């Protein structure tokens, strides 16, 4: 849809060159020339990725050496160290996609408009030793893309919190969490001073007073979850929203359009982003905020 970043794409960039040479030196030279002519005098950051397939992954060592060879041919004074800083510096993010059969595609996008700042959209994370599930990695990946992050002293509501991966990540950042879920939390969270477990359905829960952050990872029907999040928005119960919406159905887009509409038109949530993160499965993660 015009003006909206695609929800189900890992990367999106303009192709500035498609190279079919195979000799490493020749590929590096041609890729560097393409980057130089596209970057002009703007700061740049370079990433390399391979398609997320067995054949693509086998090319990882070549891709890594290509990244170094291309970077060595580019002006070091305009280099930005990493993609996160590239966003702040207004830099262009160049991606070299090293594909099978000797094809290398050079893509460019301004870092601020990039769908993901991770190479190829694959945000890799070591599993945190104390996290109970992959859910925690979804949360960390979602927080990566935000201008603000929940921190010390913030009050968070976590709807569909059990067994507690998100709640655990939030308290480890210093936040206080009201964890709403009929199911049990993991033992280390039950007696935690900054965790209040409300063991009831999120559909019947109302906060005593507005919170800073609304998190939601409820395994429930997407349109009903969207209605619930819209209610929180309309009533001004939270300032920031991070929610994972389950989309187990085959035809996801019509549902997603309705979810978007409900959140923005009925809930008044602003700055909505909708993305299937690297750690998401049949689901998307939405973020939004309320204007003060």
Ligand X SMILES: C[S@@+](CC[C@H](N)C(=O)[O-])C[C@H]1O[C@@H](n2cnc3c(N)ncnc32)[C@H](O)[C@@H]1O
Q: Which residues are known to be catalytic?
A: 246
Of the two residues 165 and 222, which places its CB atom closer to ligand X in the complex? 165
Q: How far is the CB of 216 from ligand X (least distance, A)?
A: 9
Q: Does 135 bind ligand X (CB under 6 A)?
A: yes
CB under 6 A: which stretch of 98-106, 217-225, 235-243, 249-257 binds ligand X?
217-225
Q: Does 166 bind ligand X (CB under 6 A)?
A: yes
Q: Does 264 bind ligand X (CB under 6 A)?
A: no
128: Cα within 13 Å, side-chain hemisphere:
17
Q: Does 163 bind ligand X (CB under 6 A)?
A: yes
Q: Parallel, antiparallel, or unpaired for β 103-110 and 92-99?
A: antiparallel
Q: What is the CA radius of gyration of the chain?
A: 21
Of the two residues 121 and 164, which places its CB atom closer to ligand X in the complex? 164
Nearest CA among 179, 141, 143 for reference residue 162: 179
Please select the residue that binds ligand X; options are 83, 171, 178, 180, rule is CB under 6 A.
Answer: 180
Of the two residues 35 and 202, which places its CB atom closer to ligand X in the complex? 202
Of the two residues 11 and 198, which places its CB atom closer to ligand X in the complex? 198
What's the token pair of residue 102? 């000797």
Q: What is d(CA 112, CA 99) in angstroms, rounded to the nearest whole number?
A: 25
Please select the residue that binds ligand X; options are 1, 26, 183, 249, rule is CB under 6 A.
Answer: 183
Q: Does 222 bind ligand X (CB under 6 A)?
A: no
Please select the residue that binds ligand X; options are 107, 119, 164, 233, rule is CB under 6 A.
Answer: 164
| CB 274 within 8 Å of CB 235 | no
Q: Does 255 bind ligand X (CB under 6 A)?
A: no
Nearest CA among 216, 238, 37, 51 for reference residue 139: 216
Q: How far is the CB of 203 from ligand X (least distance, A)?
A: 5
CA torsion through residues 184, 186, 189, 191, sign: positive
Of the two residues 151 and 182, which places its CB atom closer to ligand X in the complex? 182
Q: What is d(CA 268, CA 210) in angstroms, rounded to the nearest whole number?
A: 16
Q: What is d(CA 144, CA 115) in angstroms, rounded to the nearest whole number?
A: 12
Provide the 8-state DSSP code for 264.
I
Binding region for ligand X (CB under 6 A): 132-133, 135-136, 159-166, 180-183, 201-203, 217-220
């Amino acid at each position: 849809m015009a003006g909206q970043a695609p929800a189900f794409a890992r990367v999106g960039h303009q192709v500035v060159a498609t190279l079919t040479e195979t000799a490493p030196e020749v590929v590096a030279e041609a890729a560097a020339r393409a980057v130089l002519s596209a970057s002009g005098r703007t700061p740049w950051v370079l990433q390399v990725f391979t398609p997320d397939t067995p054949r693509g992954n086998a090319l990882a060592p070549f891709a890594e050496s290509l990244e170094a060879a291309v970077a060595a041919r580019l002006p070091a004074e305009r280099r930005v160290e990493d993609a996160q800083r590239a966003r702040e510096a207004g830099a262009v993010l160049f991606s070299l996609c090293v594909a099978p059969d000797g094809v290398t595609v050079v893509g460019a996008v301004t870092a601020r408009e990039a769908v993901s700042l991770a190479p190829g959209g694959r945000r890799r994370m070591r599993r945190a030793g104390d996290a109970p599930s992959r859910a925690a990695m979804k949360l960390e990946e979602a927080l990566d893309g935000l201008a603000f992050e929940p921190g010390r002293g913030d009050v968070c509501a976590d709807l569909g919190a059990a067994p507690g991966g998100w709640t655990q990540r939030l308290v480890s950042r210093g936040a206080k969490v009201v964890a709403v879920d009929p199911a049990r939390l993991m033992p280390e969270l039950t007696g935690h001073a900054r965790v209040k477990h409300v063991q009831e359905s999120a559909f019947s829960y109302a906060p005593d007073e507005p919170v800073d952050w609304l998190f939601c990872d409820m395994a429930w029907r997407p349109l009903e979850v969207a209605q619930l999040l819209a209610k929180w928005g309309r009533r001004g119960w939270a300032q920031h929203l991070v929610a994972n919406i389950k989309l187990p159905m085959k035809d996801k887009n019509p549902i997603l359009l309705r979810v978007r509409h409900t959140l923005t038109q009925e809930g008044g949530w602003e700055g909505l982003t909708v993305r299937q993160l690297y750690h998401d499965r049949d689901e998307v993660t939405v973020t939004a905020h309320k204007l003060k």
